[in-house]
Amino acid sequence: MASVPSLAATVHQRVADALSAALPEAGAADPLLRRSDRADFQANGMLALAKKLKGNPRELAGKVVDGISAPELIKEIEVSGPGFLNITLTDEAIVRTLAGRAADDRLGVPYAENAGTTVIDYAQPNVAKEMHVGHLRSAVIGDALRHILEFTGEKTIGRHHIGDWGTQFGMLIQYLIEHPDELAPATDVDGEQAMSNLNRVYKASRAVFDADEEFKERARRRVVALQSGDKETLEIWQRFVDESKVYFYSVFEKLDMEIRDDEIVGESAYNDMMAETARLLEESGVAVRSEGALVVFFDDIKGKDDRPVPLIVQKADGGFGYAASDLSAIRDRALGLKATNLLYVVDVRQSLHFKMVFETARRMGWLNERVTAHNMGYGTVLGADGKPFKTRAGETVRLEDLLDEAAQRAAEVVREKARDLTEEEIQERGAQVGIGAVKYADLSTSPSRDYKFDLDQMVSLNGDTSVYIQYAYARIRSILRKAGETGPVARPELPLAPAERALGLHLDAFGDTVAEAAGEYAPHKVTAYLYQLASLYTTFYDQCPVLKAETPAQVENRLFLCDLTARTLHRGMALLGIRTPERL
Ligand code: ARG
Distance from the CA of 226 to the center of ligand 1, in angstroms? Answer: 21
* Distance in Å, CA 306 to ligand 1 centroid: 28
Q: Is the CB of 325 under 6 A from ligand 1?
A: no
Q: What is the mean pLDDT of the chain?
A: 93
Q: What is the mean pLDDT of residues 425-444?
A: 96
The Cα 374–Cα 368 span in angstroms is 12
94 lines ligand 1 (CB under 6 A): no
Average pLDDT of the residues in 449-458: 90
Q: Which CATH superfamily is domain 11-89 in?
A: Arginyl tRNA synthetase N-terminal domain (3.30.1360.70)
Q: Averaged over 184-208, what is the pLDDT? A: 86
User: Span 399-575: which CATH code?
Assistant: 1.10.730.10
3-state helix vs strand vs coil in the chain, percent to 5? 55, 10, 35
Q: Is the dihedral of CA 275, 279, 285, 291 positive or negative?
A: positive
Looking at the structure, give the CATH architecture of the domain made up of residues 117-161+266-375.
3-Layer(aba) Sandwich (3.40)
CA 112/CA 359 separation, integer angstroms: 28
Question: Is the distance from the beta carbon of residue 124 to the nearest atom of ligand 1 less than 6 Å?
Answer: yes
Does ligand 1 lie within 6 Å of residue 163's CB atom?
yes
* Percent of the chain at pLDDT exceeding 90: 79
pLDDT confidence of 508, banded at 50, 70, 90?
very high
How many whole angstroms from 358 Cα to the centroid of ligand 1?
15
- Sheet-wide strand order for 84-89: 33-35, 41-43, 84-89, 74-80
- Distance from Cα 266 to the centre of ligand 1, integer Å: 9
Per-residue pLDDT at 383: 87
What pTM was estimated for this model as a whole? 0.94
pLDDT digits (tens, 9 = 90+) for 328-339: 999 999 999 999
Query: CA triplet 483, 487, 489: central angle to 5 degrees?
Result: 135
Q: CA dist 546 to 96, 102, 229, Å?
A: 19, 18, 69
Q: For residues 53 and 7, is the Cβ–Cβ distance under 8 A?
A: no
Q: Nearest Cα to 296, choosing from 269, 327, 275, 335?
A: 327
State the closest ligand 1 atom to the C-alpha of 322, by its place in the atom list counted from 1. 11
432 lines ligand 1 (CB under 6 A): no
Q: Residue with the nearest Cα to atom 5 of ligand 1?
A: 124
pLDDT of residue 1 exceeding 80, the answer is no
Q: How confident is the model at residue 5 (pLDDT cuts 50, 70, 90)?
A: very low
Nearest of 240, 68, 97, 78 to residue 162 by alpha carbon: 240
Domain boundaries, the chain: 11-89, 117-161+266-375, 168-258, 399-575
Q: Name the band, by pLDDT with cuts 50, 70 and 90, for residue 390.
A: confident
161 lines ligand 1 (CB under 6 A): yes
ipTM: 0.99
Nearest CA to ligand 1 atom 9: 161
Q: What angle do CA 543, 544, 550 make, to 5 degrees?
A: 140
pLDDT in tens, 336-381: 999 999 999 999 999 999 999 999 999 999 999 999 999 999 999 9
Measured in angstroms, how far is the CA atom of residue 124 from the centroid of ligand 1?
A: 6
Contact 277, 324 (CB under 8 A): yes
Decide whether any atom of ligand 1 lies within 6 Å of the 577 Cβ.
no
The pairing of strands 288-290 and 293-296 is antiparallel
Predicted local distance difference test score (pLDDT) of residue 25: 82
* Predicted local distance difference test score (pLDDT) of residue 180: 87
519-544 average pLDDT score: 98
The per-residue pLDDT for 2 is: 38
pLDDT for res 122: 98
pLDDT of 186: 62
Distance from C-alpha of 540 to C-alpha of 542, rounded to nearest angstrom: 5
Return the ∠ at Cα 52 (arms to 49 and 58), rounded to 5°: 45
What atom in ligand 1 is closest to the CA of residue 159? 10
Ligand 1 centre distance from Cα of residue 126 (Å): 8
| Ligand 1 center from residue 163 Cα (angstroms) | 7
Q: What is the number of the ligand 1 atom nearest to the C-alpha of 354?
A: 11
pLDDT at residue 408 tops 60: yes
pLDDT at residue 242 is higher than 80: yes
8 pLDDT above the threshold of 80: no
CA distances (Å), origin 118, targets 21, 210, 372, 441: 37, 44, 10, 25
Q: Would the pLDDT of 172 be above 80?
A: yes
Q: Give the whole-angstrom CA distance, residue 159 versus residue 142.
A: 10
pLDDT above 70 as % of the chain: 98
Question: Does 146 contact ligand 1 (Cβ within 6 A)?
Answer: no
Q: How far is the CA of 346 from the centre of ligand 1 (A)?
A: 6
pLDDT tens for each residue of 96-131: 999 999 999 999 999 999 899 999 999 999 999 989
Distance 176 CA to ligand 1 centre (A): 26
User: With a 6 A CB cut-off, is 332 part of the ligand 1 pocket?
Assistant: no
How do residues 548-564 score in pLDDT, each as one tens digit?
A: 999 999 999 999 999 99
Q: Ligand 1: distance of its center to the CA of 563 in Å?
A: 42
CA dist., res. 76 & res. 74, Å (int) = 6
Q: Determine if ligand 1 sits within 6 Å of the CB of residue 346.
A: yes
Ligand 1 contact, 326 CB (< 6 A): yes
CA 210 to chain centre: 41
The ligand 1 atom at the shortest distance from the C-alpha of residue 346 is: 7
- Condensed to tens digits (0 to 9), the pLDDT of residues 293-320 reads 999 999 999 888 888 899 999 999 888 9
Where is 156: in which H helix or E strand? strand 155-159
Average pLDDT over residues 412-439: 92
pLDDT at 156 > cutoff 90: yes
